[in-house]
Every structure is written in structure tokens, then in C-alpha cells.
Amino acid sequence: MQDFTQKTGITKEHYKQMYTAAQRRSSWYKNVPKAFIIGGLICMAGQGLTALYSGAGLSEKAASAATSITLIFISALLTGLGLYEKLAKHAGAGTLVPITGFANSVCAPALEFKTEGYVPGVGAKIFIISGPVILYGTLASIAYGLIYYFFLR
């Protein structure tokens, strides 16, 4: 700590004051209902799309796939336009509804690093957040499948 203090001129007390001032105080009693309502509206929109696609003659499986594709497209579009972040500031965890939140987590890093070029920027950074989820989800499903196959069936 002494080296840090000497290099920056910031003492422990001053750092603690800066940290406390920078902390964002959350009003959980406001944030929880907003997250619940906005997350519910996203889910309701998904259910509405499924009903719309089913009513248009798609099978249940095809309507579900079309709904997923539509929600991913809308989420990616809103991320690209910078609107998803604004929605997330108000909705908090409500925007983490799995499919829309996952699409945002893929698109956001790609947009952030596009100035570095398509291959080293977008191509390399697109899975920076969601990549570990995909990797460990796949590995966990294989492990659980093997355990089930050899020991629990």
C-alpha cells in the first residue's frame, strides 16, 4: 500500500472517501418492482409473439423458434441502437430475461470493440461475456449426461 500511496498521492482514507462517494445507492423497493414489471412485459411480448405465430399457422415448435429468433433480433437491434442499455438502466435485472439478455451480452462487446476491426475486434470479442456461459454450459451438460447414463438410468 505504501508504494501505491507514494505513486498516486492517495491515502487509504482518501481512497475510502472516493469509494464511498462513487458507490451508487440502490433503492431496492423501487428497483424490484420495475425489474419484475419490465421483465414480465418482455416475457409477455414473447408469449404474444408465440400466439401471433401460432395463429398464422405455424406449429407450436415452429412458433417457438420464430419467437426466439424475433426476440434475439429485437434485442440485438436495440443493443446496436444503444436503447437496450437505456432500458437496462431502468429495468435492472428485468432485462436479464434469458434470451434477450443473452443476445445483448453477445452484441454489446462486439459493438464496443468494432473500432479494432472486424476480425481482431468484433470476431475476437463477440463471445467475451457469453463464451464462458456457452463453454461451461456445454461441459456441464456433457458431464451430467455421462453421470446420468452410467449411474442413474
- Mean pLDDT lowest for which of 9-13, 52-56, 57-61, 111-115? 111-115
60 band by pLDDT with thresholds 50, 70 and 90 = very high
- What's the pLDDT at 119? 65
- What's the pLDDT at 24? 72
When comparing pLDDT for 32 and 109, which is higher? 32
Give CA–CA dist 30/144, Å, rounded: 39
> Which residue type does 103 have?
A
Any residues with CB less than 8 A from the CB of 96 and at least 6 apart, and which? Answer: 39
Compute the half-sphere exposure of residue 17: CA atoms within 13 Å on the CB side of its CA. 5
Asked if residue 58 lies in contact with residue 87, where contact means CB atoms within 8 angstroms, the answer is: no
Cell numbers at 7, concatenated: 505513486
Give CA–CA dist 14/98, Å, rounded: 40
Give the tens place of pLDDT for each residue, 35-51: 999 999 999 999 999 99
Query: Looking at residues 53-67, what average pLDDT do you find?
Result: 95
Give the tens place of pLDDT for each residue, 80-109: 898 998 998 888 888 888 788 888 887 777
Asked if residue 121 lies in contact with residue 134, where contact means CB atoms within 8 angstroms, the answer is: no
Q: Tell me the domain boundaries of the chain.
A: 28-152
